[in-house]
């Protein structure tokens, strides 16, 4: 028999491990993870501007070609929309819609990665060429890695949705992955501005 204890006549029920605020602990955790990652990128971009300000010519080979980067920016920013729609869908308990939207977002993410890799291969410099090359590939490479992690997380969401492990009552996983995906898009805007736009304003 399961014993039920009481204290002052009140059963000591499940006293929460997961916090008492209005938001779930996991949500806060993701928020501060996002803040940490955002800070990391902010400091990477700080380094870019610092090295640029100390260099006589920056970027050494002239401002970068914009076409692919603009296409990529549009793709990644737009991919936040299906991700958001997926989150709304699970709140309506519409698992099918979630799966569909998540796959759309993931496909856009994959397109981003392919275009990014294409652009890398066209650059005349490498990571070891000079300060600019080191910064360019480190900053975009870090972001690339974040997109890859985001894609894996989306796949996990899709898998969970298919395995019936997310629901309107338990949307937290989808919401946090959505927040992460928005971060990846937002960070890209800053990266895009720094690496592609700022040389034209220099």
Partner 1 sequence: MATTVAAPRAAGPKHKYESGIWSWLATTDHKRIGQLYLYTALAWFLVGGIEAFIIRLQLYGPNGRIVSAETYNQLFTMHGTTMIFMAIMPLSAAFFNFLVPLQIGARDVAFPRLNAFSYWVFLAGSIFMNVSWLFHAAPDGGWFAYAPLNTRVYSPGLNMDFWVIGLQILGLSSLAAGFNFITTIINMRAPGMHFMRMPVFTWATFVTQFLIVLSFPFITVAVTFLLFDRFFGTNFYEIAAGADPLLWQHLFWLFGHPEVYILILPAFGLVSEVLPTFSRKPLFGYPVMVYSLILIAFLGFGVWAHHMFAVGMGPIADSIFGITTMLIAIPTGVKIFNWLGTMWGGSLRFTTPMLFAIGLVSLFTIGGISGVMHSSPPSDLQQTDSYFVVAHFHYVLFGGSMMGLFAGIYYYFPKITGRLMSETLGKWHFWLTFIGMNLTFFPMHFAGLDGMPRRIWQYDANQGWDVDNHISTIGAAILVVATLIFVINLVRSRRSGARAGNDPWGAPTIEWSIPSPPPAYNYATIPTVRSRYPMWDMKAPELTASVPHSPAGEKEVTVKVGGATAGHIETPADTQLNAENAHPSAHELGIVMPTPTIKPLLATLGLCVSFFGLIWHRHVPIIILGGVIFVAALYAWLLTPLEPEH
- Least distance (Å) between residue 48 CB and partner 1: 10
**96 near partner 1 (CB under 8 A):** no
Among 47, 94, 167, 198, binds partner 1 (CB under 8 A): 47
- Least distance (Å) between residue 78 CB and partner 1: 28
Among 64, 71, 88, 134, binds partner 1 (CB under 8 A): 134
Report, in angstroms and rounded to the nearest whole number, the Rg of the chain calculated over CA atoms.
22
CB 69 within 8 A of CB 36: no
Query: Which residue number, 34 or 76, has a Cβ lying nearer to partner 1?
Result: 34
Query: Which residue number, 104 or 127, has a Cβ lying nearer to partner 1?
Result: 127
Beta pairing partners, 6: 11
- Quickly tell me which residue has 């919401």 as its tokens: 175
- Token output for 66: 């914009």
| Distance between CA atoms of residues 116 and 23, nearest Å | 36
DSSP string of 3-42? ---EETTEE-----SS-SSSS-HHHHHHHHHHHHHHHHHH
Q: In sequence order, which residues have a C-beta less than 8 Å from that of residue 68 and are 6 or more positions away? A: 115, 118, 119
Query: Which residue number, 4 or 201, has a Cβ lying nearer to partner 1?
Result: 4
**61 near partner 1 (CB under 8 A):** no
**36 near partner 1 (CB under 8 A):** yes
Q: In sequence order, which residues have a C-beta less than 8 Å from that of residue 23 and are 6 or more positions away? A: none
- Token output for 69: 């980067």
Count of residues touching partner 1 (by CB under 8 A): 49
Beta pairing partners, 10: 7
- Least distance (Å) between residue 25 CB and partner 1: 5
Query: Which residue number, 121 or 128, has a Cβ lying nearer to partner 1?
Result: 128
Of 18-26, 77-85, 179-187, 188-196, which part binds partner 1 (CB under 8 A)? 18-26
Binding stretches for partner 1 (CB under 8 A): 1-21, 23, 25, 28-29, 32-33, 35-36, 39-40, 42-44, 47, 50-51, 54-55, 127-131, 133-135, 137-138
């Amino acid at each position: 028999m399961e014993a039920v204890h009481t204290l002052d006549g009140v059963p000591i029920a499940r006293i929460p491990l997961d916090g008492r605020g209005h938001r779930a602990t996991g949500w806060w955790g993701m928020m501060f993870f996002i803040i940490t990652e955002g800070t990391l990128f902010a400091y990477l971009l700080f380094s870019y501007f610092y090295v640029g300000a100390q260099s006589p010519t920056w970027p050494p080979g002239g401002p970068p070609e914009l076409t692919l980067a603009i296409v990529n920016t549009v793709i990644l920013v737009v991919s936040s929309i299906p991700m958001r729609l997926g989150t709304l869908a699970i709140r309506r308990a519409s698992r099918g819609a979630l799966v569909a939207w998540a796959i759309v977002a993931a496909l856009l993410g994959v397109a981003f990665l392919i275009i990014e890799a294409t652009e890398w291969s066209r650059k005349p410099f490498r990571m070891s060429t000079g300060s600019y090359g080191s910064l360019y590939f480190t900053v975009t490479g870090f972001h690339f890695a974040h997109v890859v992690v985001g894609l894996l997380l989306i796949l996990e969401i899709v898998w969970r949705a298919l395995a019936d492990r997310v629901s309107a009552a338990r949307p937290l996983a989808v919401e946090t992955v959505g927040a992460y995906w928005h971060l990846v898009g937002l960070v890209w805007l800053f990266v895009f501005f720094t690496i592609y736009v700022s040389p034209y304003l220099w």
